Amino acid sequence: MEKVLSIQGISKRYGRIQAVNGLFLEISRGQVFGLLGPNGSGKTTTLSILLDLVRNDSGSFEWFGEPPSKESRKRIGSVIESPNFFPYLSAVRNLRIVADIKGKPYDDIDEALTLTGLYDRRNDRFKTYSFGMKQRLAVASALLGNPDVLILDEPTNGLDPQGIAQMRDLIRMIAQKGITIVLASHLLDEVQKICTHVAVLRKGIKLFDGEVSEVLAVSELVEVSSENMEALKEAISGHAEYKSLTRSEDKWLVYFKNPVRPGELNEYMHRKGIVLTHLSERKRTLEQHFLELLNDNR
């Protein structure tokens, strides 16, 4: 796979706060890459460094296999934090400035405005827009000139539920065009719905990265107990789908690699000569799982 972005150990310190701490990351063409982490985990700082807004203290990075330059940034569309435009200019005039900077023709402007649902308001001044519209204009601006990469920093932040749904549809639509996407978010749910790959950050350090299906896979969880807890432990660890278990008061919490039906499990234990006194399925929410991921590495 062609490397789009390669980060080699970048760090950034703001006074006493180490915002990014020796981050390594590789992103390949066509990935929808999520940077997942709670607020203050260094996502925005990382993206700001990648876009030359913030100077890194150490480390380096390459866009498209070359040292970063204004030319590489012209191939990247970005939505960073709040939408930044001239309030007294219309959407079209603001986008013309963007096209001029990127050295791209104005032909794409109408298409970008149509795609983001702003075409009817294209000649209104930016300051008359609602927040959702401003955010969509930022996406329209990022799409000008067919970028190779789209960077989105918390694109659904501050939007109402309808706005969030529209934004996610928009991102999926863009991903289908084969544009590589880097998406920073503190919402696990968002990353899981949109991304193919993910890196989990905490306090400027990367905890994991990999395919979303691996990193964020939710294993099945079952609570069991019996008269003889040790025999139960031994028997259940022989199950084909067994992954791990932990003790919770008088029960075992058992993780399975794949879903196991309670009836099937009961039958299995029966065959092993164990009578269960308790058996129940427990679904972990994604948020619980995310918090566990973060806590495991404290």
Partner 1 sequence: MKRLLKIELKKILTYKVFWILMGLYFVFLILGILMAGFIINSWVDEVNKHIPIAIPHVRFYFFPDIWQNLTFFASIRYILIFPAIVIIILITNEFTNKTIRQNVVNGMSRNEFLFSKLQVIFFMALFITFILAAGILILGISNTDAQGMAMIFKKMSFAGGFFIQIFSFMIFAFFLGFLLRNTGLSIAIFTLYALIIEPVLYFILKIPKLQPNNISQFLPVNSVVRVVEYPYFPMLKNFMGLRIQEQLSLLDCVVPLIYSAVMIGIVYFVLSKKDL
Amino acid at position 255, single letter: Y
Report the nearest approach of partner 1 to the CB of residue 147 (Å). 10
Q: CB of residue 157 vs partner 1: minimum separation in angstroms?
A: 16
Classify residue 34 by its DSSP letter. Answer: E
Q: Residue 85 or residue 256: which is nearer to partner 1 going by CB?
A: 85
Between 144 and 199, name the residue whose CB sits nearer to partner 1.
144
CA atoms within 13 A on the CB side of 104: 23
Smaller CB separation from partner 1, 123 or 176: 123
Cβ closer to partner 1: 7 or 274? 7
Beta-bridged to residue 6, according to DSSP, are: 26, 62
Residue closer to partner 1 (CB basis): 87 or 259:
87
- Looking at beta carbons only, is 123 or 258 nearer to partner 1? 123
Q: Looking at the chain, list the stretches that DSSP marks H as alpha helix, in order from N- to C-terminal side.
A: 43-50, 70-73, 91-102, 108-115, 131-143, 161-176, 188-194, 212-215, 229-236, 262-271, 286-296
What's the closest the beta carbon of residue 95 comes to partner 1, in angstroms? 11
Comparison of 48 and 180: residue with beta carbon closer to partner 1: 48
Largest CA distance in the chain: 78
**Positive/negative CA dihedral, 92, 32, 289, 47:** negative
Q: How far apart are CB 61 and partner 1 at their closest, in Å?
A: 15
- List contacts with partner 1 (CB under 8 A): 48, 51-55, 69-71, 73-74, 76, 78, 80, 82, 84-89, 93, 96-98, 100-103, 141
Report residue 158 as tokens: 């501050």
Closest distance to partner 1 from the beta carbon of 52 (Å): 6
SS3 category, 159 = coil
CB of 134 to partner 1, least distance (A): 12
CB of 86 to partner 1, least distance (A): 6
Phi and psi of 294, rounded to 5°?
-70, -40
| Nearest of 50, 45, 48, 46 to residue 67 by alpha carbon | 50
Q: What are phi and psi of 89, to 5 degrees?
A: -100, 150
